[in-house]
A and B are shown apart, each in its own frame.
Chain A
Amino acid sequence: MIDEQTIKEMEITTENIKAVFKDHDDVMYKVAFIRGEPELRADLVYVDGMADVSSINEDIIKPLNENPVFQRVNTQEEAYEAAVNGGIYHGSMVMLKDMEELVSTLLFGFTVVVFDGIKKAIAFETKGFKYRSVTAAQEENTYKSPKDAFVENIRVNVSLIRQKIISRHLAVSELDVGTLSNTPCSILYMSNICNEEFVEIIKTRLKNMKQEDALSMQDVYESLVEHKYTMFPQAKSTESSSIVCSSLMEGKVAVLINGIPYALIFPMVFGDLFNSSFDYNINFALASFFRIMRYASFLFTLLLPGIYVAIAEFHPEMIPFALLNAIGAAKAGTPFNTVLEILIMSFTFYVLIQVSMQVPTSMGSAVSIVGGIVLGQAAVQAQLVSPGVIVVIAAASIAALAIPNKDANFAVWIWQGFITILTSVYGLYGLSAGFILFLYCLARLESLGVPYLSPYIHPSKMQPEDSFIRFPLTDIQYRPIYLKPKEKERKKK
Chain B
Amino acid sequence: MKKKRLFVMLSLLLFLTGCSSLPHKIPLEDIQAILIAGIDVNEGMVELTVMSVGSQPGSGDKKGEEAIKIYEATGKTVFEAKQNLSLYNDKHLIWAHLEYIIIGEDTARAGIAPHLDFFLRHHENRLTDDLIVAKNMTAREFIRSTDTAQPKINEKIRHLFKDAEIKSTIRNVNLKTWALKHLSDTMYVILPVLSTTERTHKEKEQQEEGTQKKDIRTDGYAVFNREGKLIDYASLEYSRGINWITDEIHSTAVVIEPESGAQLSAQIIRSKTKLEIDEEAVSLNVDISLIFNIPEYTGNKELYDLEYGGLIKGKLEDMIEKEVIDTVKYLQSLDADAINIGNVYYHKYPKRWPMMKDMWEEKFRQMNVNVSVRSTLRNTYNILNPMEKE
Whether B64 contacts A316 by the Cβ 8 Å rule is no
A-B pairs with beta carbons under 8 A, tally: 93
Q: Which residues of B contact A (CB under 8 A)?
A: 3, 6-7, 10, 13-14, 17, 22-29, 31, 33, 35, 53-61, 63-66, 94, 96-97, 124
Contact of A328 among B24, B25, B54, B61 (CB under 8 A): B54
**One of A72-80, A365-373, A426-434 at the interface:** A426-434
| Cross-chain contact A333 with B57 (CB below 8 angstroms) | yes
Give A239 to B388 CA distance when docked, in angstroms. Answer: 82
| A36 CB → nearest B CB, Å | 75
Closest CB-CB distance, A445 to chain B, in whole Å?
11
A437 to B118, CA, bound (A): 39
A337 to B23, CA, bound (A): 16
A314 & B25 in contact (Cβ 8 Å cutoff): yes
- Say whether, besides A314-B26, A337-B27, A426-B14, A329 and B58 are in contact (CB < 8 Å): yes
Of A314, A317, A329, the residue contacting B23 (CB under 8 A) is A314
9 more A-B contacts (CB under 8 A) besides A324-B97, A329-B55, A329-B66? A316-B94, A321-B53, A324-B33, A327-B28, A328-B29, A328-B55, A333-B64, A381-B61, A440-B6
Q: Name which of B3, B7, B14, B124 has the most chain A CB atoms within 10 A of its CB.
A: B14
Chain B positions within 8 Å of A324 at CB level: 28, 33, 97
- Contact A316–B66 (Cβ < 8 Å): no
Partner of B33, one of A325, A331, A337, A440: A325
Give CA–CA (A426, B21) in the complex, Å. 10
A residues near B13, Cβ cutoff 8 Å? 433, 436
Min CB–CB distance A330 → chain B (angstroms): 6
Instruction: Give the contacting residue for B22; candidates A338, A425, A440; CB below 8 A.
Output: A425
Residues of B within 8 A of A327 (CB): 28
Residues on A lying within 8 angstroms of B by beta carbon are 311-314, 316-317, 320-321, 324-325, 327-334, 337-338, 381, 383, 422, 425-427, 429-430, 433, 436-437, 440, 444
Report the minimal beta-carbon distance from B259 to chain A, rounded to whole angstroms.
51
In the docked arrangement, what's the CA distance between A311 and B25, Å?
A: 10
B101, chain A: closest CB distance, angstroms: 16
Closest A residue to B25 by CB, please name it: A313
Q: Is the CB of B27 within 8 A of A312?
A: yes
Q: A317-B97, A321-B97, A328-B54 are in contact. Are A333 and B59 (CB under 8 A)?
A: yes
Asked if B28 and A338 make an inter-chain contact with CB atoms under 8 angstroms apart, the answer reads yes
List of A residues within 8 angstroms of B22 by Cβ? 425-426
Q: Are B96 and A317 in contact (CB under 8 A)?
A: yes
Residue of B nearest to A333 (CB): B57
Residues of chain A within 8 A of B24, CB atoms compared: 314
Q: List chain A residues, Cβ under 8 A from B124.
A: 317
* Residues in A neighbouring B63, C-beta threshold 8 A: 329-330
Contacts A317-B96, A329-B65, A330-B64 hold; do A338 and B17 have CB atoms under 8 A apart? no
User: A429 touching B23 by the CB < 8 A rule?
Assistant: yes
**Which residues does chain A contribute within 8 Å of B97, judged by CB atoms?**
317, 320-321, 324
Contact residues in B for A429 (Cβ distance below 8 Å): 17, 23
Residues of B within 8 A of A334 (CB): 29
Q: Do residues B27 and A329 form an inter-chain contact, with CB atoms below 8 A?
A: no
Chain A hits for B31, CB < 8 A: 316, 328
CB-based closest 6 A-B pairs: A333-B57, A317-B96, A329-B64, A328-B55, A329-B55, A332-B57
Q: Which residues on B sit within 8 Å (CB–CB) of A383?
A: 57
Interface centre among A313, A321, A329, A440 (most CB of B within 10 A): A329
Q: Is the CB of B53 within 8 A of A331?
A: no
Interface pair A331/B94, CB less than 8 Å apart? no
**A427 to B27 CA separation, bound complex (whole angstroms):** 12
Q: Cβ of A440: which chain B residues have Cβ within 8 Å of it?
A: 6-7, 10
Give min CB distance, B22 to chain A, whole Å: 6
Report the Cα distance A321→B96, complex, angstroms: 9
Residues from chain B with Cβ under 8 Å of A316 in the complex: 26, 28, 31, 33, 94, 96
